[in-house]
Structure 1
Amino acid sequence: MNTNELLKRLTVQLKQLEQAVLTHDANLPKREQKLLQDVDRFNSELFIQSGAKLAPCIEQIGKSISQLEKLIKGKMSTSTIALSCERIQNRFSAVRRALSTTSLGVKSAANQKAFRIATAKKRRNKFHDESGFNWIAAGVMHNSHQLYEELNKHLNWVSTFEQKILNLQFKLDSCHSADKIQMQNEILLVHRRLGKCRQAISYIEDRIQAFERPFSQTYKSFNR
């Protein structure tokens, strides 16, 4: 096969592959695009590409064919031209393989995402159990709305405890000396509850930040 026929055949192959790739990219559901948006589907020596869409590969193969044409016109050695042709054919094969394995890539990405979520949930549960606040229902830790409800509940308790301390302090100032020790112990007990409640508020606020941070990062990533 002479070089003109070789270049013509490669160009025809590229056009055919381009049509298949355009159809593939146009039919990609948004969910699959999102799952694969940061996935490198090829060896970096073949393509610079990430995500579900394969159109960037067509452009890169086209550039390789143009480079091959320059090598031929420059009368480069047969081995150099053969190596360039082999690289182009490897790229063709890689894209064809990718066209037929997108669903497998999506399944793998979905499994990895599920694993990451499960691992993060397990880590949150462990932290919750070791935090000393496991009297707060663990289920609350996985729901932003419930976290805010729990925070509001504890803020109300703080106000209640603070008012109770003021009332008890007022009574202490005017109570009989025989009752002062009991009153002081009661005030001390409410102070302890108030301190524990404030610690819980800090803990819940940390959980809210940890819960919402992944969604914030995802939003930024989606809009960049």
Structure 2
Amino acid sequence: MVNNALDKLHQQLARLSEQAQQFDNAKWFDKNRYIQAQPSLFDRTVFATKSLLLCDYVDEIKAQVKHLPPMEKRHAYSFAVQRIATQIEAIIKVLKSTPVWAKENKASFSKKNKVYRKAVQKIMQSSHELYQELSQNHEFERRLQEMIEIRREKLDKASNAEAQKINQEILALHARLGRCRKAISETEAKIQQVEKQQNR
């Protein structure tokens, strides 16, 4: 699910790059003295790039998507994805800023903006779901281990009849613990798969 969302975002960025190239080729800003006097098209809080060409900013986004932090670093990953979403919206606003461009592409850009946002949200949602799943499974594992330990302590003081019942409970809990650990391994494998996709 996360891989599909990342693939979709790469495809959307390829299209955005084409649109930015067309925009740069049209040289909309050449006659705008105010913009020509600026070192950058965007605020430095939005982009690190300093350029009057939109393509340079799209390249910055592509580099960030390629080097997203590992999903294990949840806050850094979430911040990076939110930043990418903000940057994409900023570029689309500039693309829509010229009267001719806005008239020709108004409906198209409105739709594309939603597609970009949806792709980014899908990545965030998927990563949160994976971490939530992993956290829940780890908590379940901890609780099962505690329940096994409590029964083992009871076993020392139990009569023969009670001991048989407690042993059956311990065996059942171990079976559940095995399934839980399998689920943890599967979730961790999904996370590793996502990281491999990001590092390509």
TM-score (norm 1): 0.38
Larger radius of gyration: 1
TM-score (norm 2): 0.43
